[in-house]
Structure 1
């Protein structure tokens, strides 16, 4: 290592060389003694060799003599009288300054390389093309249920996951899996942590990977509930993709990618990622107008090629697809107002259920031919029906088990319209007004009853009649000093309302907090955000929602959060 004296000497030498370079025009008579003494001092400290010093001294004496002959009279005539205690910076020839600088630089770099404390080109080129980002969110969540809620609301997602469930009450006296609708859950301490890496492979190609927490592999939340005996928590592959910038305005991305569409959490959860390929278009027409759009194809699920894993009755495997397209525009109305408009169409192909042909599990059939039409993931709200057309045992018709899975009753061809208006108000306030309207073009009550053969099992009113709908609406307002929390002191408050009929959209992909996820929900939400420091902010939200149709189910959710990003 370089000793403290040597490091100080090197630094002083470089500083002095710089200072004397700035004093070449000093109006005083030059003196070679200061220069010679400086050079000798650098030799004593081991910065310069004696041979180098001898050469520098000779050059300094020569140039100093030339300087005295050329400048002696004008300097003496015009130079100010030195006062007692004044220190004058002496003339150092340019050649001396250059040689001192080069020699010091060479000595410093040689020592730095030898001791490995300032070595250039230490890392390979690919390191400079990789970047990391991430975020951590701590949340305390409480859930408060109404005392008027029905205690017998079936968890159909769990039925499909753990079933089939025998719906014949004569042969099965156990309850199906039920949603908690009565017991409050306070102080659920929860964590979301995500870490992403992006690598620029070439100017046109980019690869990305992101890892995230999560209590399970459900697609709409990377939140992990803490506790559980201090057990370790799972890490999931949240994203993994390749992007190709085909043109300045067009990018193709494939793999597990972030939501490529402009949407609200009424349609897609903020944590939802898509599996598939998307072409994303952005083009600025002028200073006021810009166009954007997306086309995408996403395999939602691959059905099994067998009625059951242990059956010999193999069937054709099918793919359930989401095909989506969106077109939108950004309009900068003036310095204080901007507008974003977007229209999207999503076709969810073959995700609706299908009644089976006659099936006889009581004879030992391992499965029925439409079991694969049940969806892989659902939350709650969509109208569902029993998939199996089970026969009865003639010997015991009343007590023959009737094990069932459920499937979606409606088709989903969804029109999604979005509007966002940002305004700058007096006193530097900012206001965002947002509206979202969703209509399921595939909703047809008559077709649903026909498809289900009268076996729809939820969204039934007190008269035993089936009720549903295919529309959803959201409005929200955000007011504050900033719409996004970037620095200390940023703040905003927000309020909004949602109304989501049961079959306006698939219930498996939207926000998991409002009404605890899914559709068939209506209610309001309020909240606020405050910037604690750069990229650190606190949030508070209250979400109150109840059912639109069917059994009573009202729940209030309070969330207190500390958010960071890096």
Structure 2
């Protein structure tokens, strides 16, 4: 088929859907039939062209569309490229009660915020990529605040950073290998991993279909803190790696009911002689570890520990003595022909919690973990409208759809990595428990609003509500969060 006819047929089949020029005649069966006959060798190109006689206007319009589309060039090696992203604006109110110095005080932080994500995915044979840009140097949040701060103004522009830069290879029908800065490859929940966080390293993903079951196995090796340097004299630097192994499956009981669950083991490897990885929960202002509310000789009360996110320098909330077993799960079913229900939960147990407590340097933890400080759990339910079960299960919402979810979570101080937990509903803290409600309504297929409210309290008052990059500068006793979002996806 010559270039002109091939492009005419392609534009005819996809023109109105992709270009939105509203020319319905471009998608009729005549062109479909001509293309099929030529591709099968029934007709030659010369024999096919007369069949299009009388459609000159359509042909000219198709040629214009092809030329217009050709202005956006693409390498011949690329089979497909998809641009995606979203713009979100948010109103947020965070408030809490807790100690800074002396007696407990209240703190409220009210902000209007926005975020931008812009990415492109490509495919080339068995290879594929994902490149995305977003605001926010801290990987746990892509948000920027209106006016930035009390010391800057609206004229200051935000910086855009690399959010993802991943290359993948589909080795077989069931094995894919990915390398670079990538989406979290594990099935998990925000109780353990903030949804904005990415992995940096390698991931091997196996997916195997067996009758009504979809089995999966994922191995991930992440460079948590990198750039190892070994010198014969001085100046050595260490690295920290994260290793995760997950196996699980999804089982379809019938056309309206499914279940999904996984078992995950995560561990960290680093030089434990580096004291900066000590999982301290705070200091009394004089450098000595203490418990919330304690006051040193200078009258300075407990201050919560602060740490950085994965991939950056780790401060007091270290990752030593973290060997966790996680079990996330969900059950999806249709309550009736238009309403779907999801029951979901997560459970985490740190097998090394006693050592983590002992190595914290806190006198109160010298005898090991207390109660349920070695574990974390979540349980919730979601209800939403759905045109069919498949769409509901995949969280594909269109115009007029709605959903509402509520969950409770309880996170022990020694149970999970404090540098990775959700930055919103528990203010990036561990040793917190509470309830969150979140609802969504779609105005169109790609424009929707979210409302969320969460309330949490400190779980064990023996220790502080330790956090990494928390938004409130308090050793929290209680915490409330209100968010209202408007999101446009493209």
TM-score by length of 2: 0.70
Change (3 A) 1:120 1:480: closer
Alignment CA distance shift 1:107-1:246 (3 Å): closer
Partner of 1:478: 382
SS of the equivalent of 2:234 reads: coil
Q: As a proportion of its length, which structure holds more strand?
A: 2
Indicate how the Cα distance of structure 1 residues 100 and 529 shifts in structure 2: closer, same or farther if over 3 A, else same: closer
Structure 1: runs of 5 or more not aligned: 1-14, 16-97, 154-179, 355-369, 376-380, 391-397
- For residues 207-218 of structure 1, what are the structure 2 equivalents within 5 Å? 207-214=129-136, 217-218=137-138
State the secondary structure of the residue aligned to 1:184.
strand
Matches within 5 A, 1:426-441: 426=336, 428-441=338-351
More displaced 10-residue stretch of structure 1: 549-558 or 495-504: 549-558
Say whether the 8 Å CA contact 2:261–2:330 is kept in structure 1: yes
**Cα contact 1:485–1:530 (8 A) shared by 2:** no
Structure 1 residues 280 and 104: alpha-carbon distance in aligned structure 2, compared to 1, 3 A threshold: closer
- Contact kept? 1:515, 1:554, Cα under 8 Å: no
Equivalent residue, structure 2, for 1:562: 486
With over 3 angstroms needed to count, the CA separation of the structure-2 counterparts of 1:181 and 1:553, relative to structure 1, is: farther
Note if 1:420 corresponds to 2:340.
no
Q: Which one of the candidate residues 160, 166, 188 is aligned to 1:235? A: 160
Q: CA separation of 1:305/1:333 partners in 2, compared to 1, >3 Å: closer, same or farther?
A: same
Contact 1:348–1:412 (CA<8 Å) still a contact in 2? Answer: yes
Partner of 2:404: 493
Contact 2:277 2:320 in 1 (8 A): no
Asked whether the 8 Å contact 1:219–1:509 carries over to 2, the reply is no
Q: Return the offset for 1:527.
A: 2.0
Specify which structure has the higher proportion of helix: 1
Aligned to 1:249: 174
Shift of the alpha carbon at 1:184?
1.1
Aligned 1:65-214 pairs, distance under 5 A: 119=67, 122=70, 123=73, 125=76, 129-146=80-97, 149-152=98-101, 182-186=106-110, 188-200=111-123, 202-214=124-136
Count of matched residue positions in the alignment of Structure 1 and Structure 2: 389
| 1:324–1:223 distance in 2 versus 1, CA, 3 Å | same
- Answer yes or no: is the 8 Å Cα contact 1:541–1:559 preserved in 2: yes
Q: By how many angstroms is 1:194 displaced?
A: 0.5
What is the rounded CA distance, in whole Å, between the counterparts of 1:329 and 1:108 in structure 2? 50
TM-score (norm 1): 0.61
Over aligned residues, Cα RMSD in angstroms?
Answer: 3.9
**SS of the residue aligned with 1:182?**
strand
Aligned mate of 2:206, from 281, 288, 300: 281
Among 318, 340, 343, the alignment partner of 2:238 is: 318
CA distance in 2, matches of 1:101, 1:485: 40
Which of 1 and 2 has higher RCO (CA within 8 Å, sep 6+)?
2
Q: Do the aligned residues in 2 keep the contact of 1:300 with 1:322 (CA within 8 Å)? A: yes
- Residues 1:555 and 1:382: Cα distance change in structure 2 (over 3 Å): farther
2:415 and 2:158 mapped to 1: Cα distance?
35
The equivalent of 1:331 in structure 2 is 251
Report the Cα offset of residue 485 of structure 1. 5.4
2:362 maps to 456
For the 8 Å contact 1:485–1:491, the answer to whether it is kept is: no
Deviation at 1:490, TM superposition (A): 0.5
Corresponding residue for residue 457 of structure 2: 546
SS of residue matched to 1:554: strand
Structure of greater Rg? 1
Q: Give the structure 2 partner of residue 165 of structure 1.
A: none
